[in-house]
Amino acid sequence: MRHGWLELKSVSDRFKGSPVSGDPESFLRRKFRKASLDDLWEAIAAQPYPISFRTLAPRSLEEIAPDEANRVRAGAEKAMAYTVDLLGSGDVTLEDPIDWSADFKNAAGWPLSFFRDINVSDQGRESDIKVPWELSRLQWLTPVAQAYLLDRDEKYAAFVKTILESWIEGNPYARGPNWAVTMEPAMRVFTWTWLFHVFSQSEAWKDAGFQTSFLGSLYEHGAFCAKYLENFGTNGNHLTADTGALVFIAEFFPQCEETCRWGETGWRMMISEIFKQVHEDGADFEGSASYHRMVAELFLWPAIYRKMKGKGVPEIYVERLRKMAAFTAAYMAPDGLAPLWGDSDDGRPFIFGGQSPSQHGYLPALIGLALDGAAEMQPPANSAGEILWSLGEEAWAKAEAASAVPPVSAAFPDAGVYVMTSGNSHVVVDCGPVGYGGRGGHGHNDCLSFEARLKGVPVITDSGTYVYTQDIEARNDFRSTAYHSTPQIDGEEINRFTGPEDLFSLLNDGVPEVRTWRTEATADLLIGSHSGYERLSPGLRPVRAIILDKLSSGLIVRDAFEGTGEHDLTIRYHLSIGAALERRKPGLWQLVVGDEEFVLCASPHTEWTAEIRSGSTSEKYGQRVERPVLCFARSGPLAELRVAILPATDLPDDVEGWVNETFSAHAEIN
């Protein structure tokens, strides 16, 4: 019904065109009750904005982050040469003028048709609509704006003006792929409003014609978001972006009846959605670390904008954001690297630092500083750029002065995420529901899967995403059971796919069950199961126990199976990129990761075959890299398997005996 209503609302726009009627300058002056366009421009420029747009002193920046100025200037020169690196494309130099409707990675394009006629999935050919979307978010211009804040060189302002003029001309209102889903104009609102405050007083931006088209286009973006909110009952990051953009537009423009209505609608829905989308334990319900990060920032910045304008933000809303920060602090490794849990997407409302997309180390400090003016924990050094450009030098000084908080084992039962830590060992286990409220969304078939860092190096890692619509087979592979370190029975999925071309849905077969969670000074223990295979045979369930032995920095995993009958059992261990695995004797392997050496032991090895295979992982959208996978398999009656990964130093003489003894000491299981 909601989709039908959206279709009905779009009928008028199919024939009417832009909501900016008549002469755009006159329309804007009347709408915001200003005597002239100059008055409107200056009124907007005089308003506060939640993101810093002050000039950073190069000398100060050199002291805080020695390489940051060079990174920014190099990025600006690259952008001004029309060279972009988006969604794993590698450096690509675009033609001038830019074709905003093209997927340059796959030499595909979309017509400037009415937005409801655009085929977003476009599964009949090799294409990825995220490419023109990402290009049109214009975040690749961020280093150009940052270089302007460093040097005040007008060439940067002139270039950004040229790109914006090109985009506005090439993307008429509600026409073409860049209007196909409301989230895309919403995401542009964040970038464009920041660019305004960076460049509003530059000489290049004093052109009245450009000012009119820029403000007129921003108004169109607000009107589009207000009319086509992606509110379909169960909502995720799309609606969060839509409503956040409405708050931004309402606070950006001077008050008028329409923008006030947009802001009130957007904020009311944001308050409602944060409690629907974010669990009580602070985890986003989509089952993905990347989308947790994006949604946290989408909920954060509109709230900060309102606070700057003297408007209320409920304490319960603020507290939910604090919990999102705490969840992030728990799942990320000590160096700030996030697990590849669920879909990995680079998307964020603002991207200011030079850290890799998987680096989430800045986020807990950013949330704390923005909300409370203080950071509860010191972020990794690679967070400096992100916090400096977002909140300024004083904020980074506070972040640096915060305490270095040691990691603590923690449980997040609503999300089903359990974190085991000891020294420089860090294990993240997923024993949670399929994402998006049981519908799949950005969640994967990863129940009982885990990532493990031992002695500071990644040993077992998740597989990430790779791509969405560009390659249907690869999309389904990367979210499949086989691409995760979890037991598989009879080659079936934990949660069935709803269809080979339905790329964001899963059936809710694998209902998780946590039987034991215990954290102690000597070991952490999780015992979990799920119902994903009970459809094959009544009572057929995998039961996994994971122990982090804190005395040895070793990991022990026992897989048992409840039920009856004969089945094909497969248990995969997806090793990290660059890991070297060599069989020493039956049931025993040497595992080398970086400079660290481990022993991998399997018991009882006589009942299982073991094979080292080649697998794939995607640490960044659009890129995949080969890595080894150790695959255990057997056919016949149900049987258990114990696997241990231990540092090679100070090994016991009888490794298998030690594993069984240690396991029995910590896990009381029949």
Distance CA 162, CA 3 (A): 37
d(CA 174, CA 177): 9
pTM over 0.85: yes
Helix (H) / strand (E) element for 588: namely strand 588-593
The Cα–Cα gap between 273 and 264 comes to 14
232 pLDDT band (50/70/90 cuts)? Answer: confident
Name the phi and psi angles at 333, rounded to 5.
-70, 165
Q: How many CB atoms lie within 10 A of CB 361?
A: 27
- Percent of all residues in the chain with a pLDDT value above 90, rounded to a whole number: 88
Count CB neighbours of 648 within 10 A.
13
Residue 150 has pLDDT above 80, yes or no: yes
> Letter for the amino acid at 335?
D
Q: Which CATH number fits domain 410-666: 2.70.98.70, 2.60.40.10, 3.40.50.720, 3.40.640.10?
A: 2.70.98.70
Residue 6 pLDDT class (50, 70, 90 cuts): confident
At 12 the pLDDT is 77
Task: Give 478-518 pLDDT, tens digit per residue.
Answer: 999 999 999 999 999 999 999 877 899 999 999 999 999 99
Q: What is the pLDDT of residues 402-430, one digit of tens each?
A: 988 888 999 999 999 999 999 999 999 99
pLDDT in tens, 532-545: 999 999 999 999 99
Q: Which residue type, as a one-letter code, is found at position 386? A: E
Cα–Cα distances in Å, from 275 out to 214, 216, 230, 231, 280? 35, 34, 17, 15, 8
The per-residue pLDDT for 605 is 87
Q: Is 356 left (phi over 0), alpha (psi -120 to 50) or beta?
A: beta
Q: What is the pLDDT of residue 670?
A: 40
Cα–Cα distance for residue pair 568/635, rounded to 1 Å: 4
Question: 458 in helix, strand or coil?
Answer: strand
Structural domain boundaries in the chain: 53-186, 229-404, 410-666
What's the average model confidence in pLDDT over 119-139?
92
Measure Cα distances from 73 to 79, 157, 644, 660 in Å: 10, 14, 48, 57
Please report the sign of the dihedral spanned by the C-alpha atoms of residue 12, residue 13, residue 17, residue 19: positive
Q: Per residue in 546-586, pLDDT tens?
A: 999 999 999 999 999 999 999 999 999 999 999 999 999 99
- 313-330 average pLDDT score: 98
Q: What is the mean pLDDT of the chain?
A: 95
Where residue 492 falls (left for φ over 0; alpha for ψ -120 to 50; beta otherwise) is beta
At 544 the three-state DSSP class reads: strand
pLDDT per residue as tens digits for the range 11-38: 778 888 899 999 999 999 999 999 999 9
* pLDDT attached to residue 668: 64
Residue of 124 and 340 predicted with greater confidence? 340
Q: How many Cβ atoms from other residues are within 10 Å of residue 69's Cβ?
A: 18
Which residue type occupies 561? F
Q: Which residue has the higher pLDDT, 125 or 100?
A: 100
Cα 449 to Cα 429: distance, rounded to the nearest angstrom: 6
- Distance from the Cα of residue 660 to its chain's centroid: 39
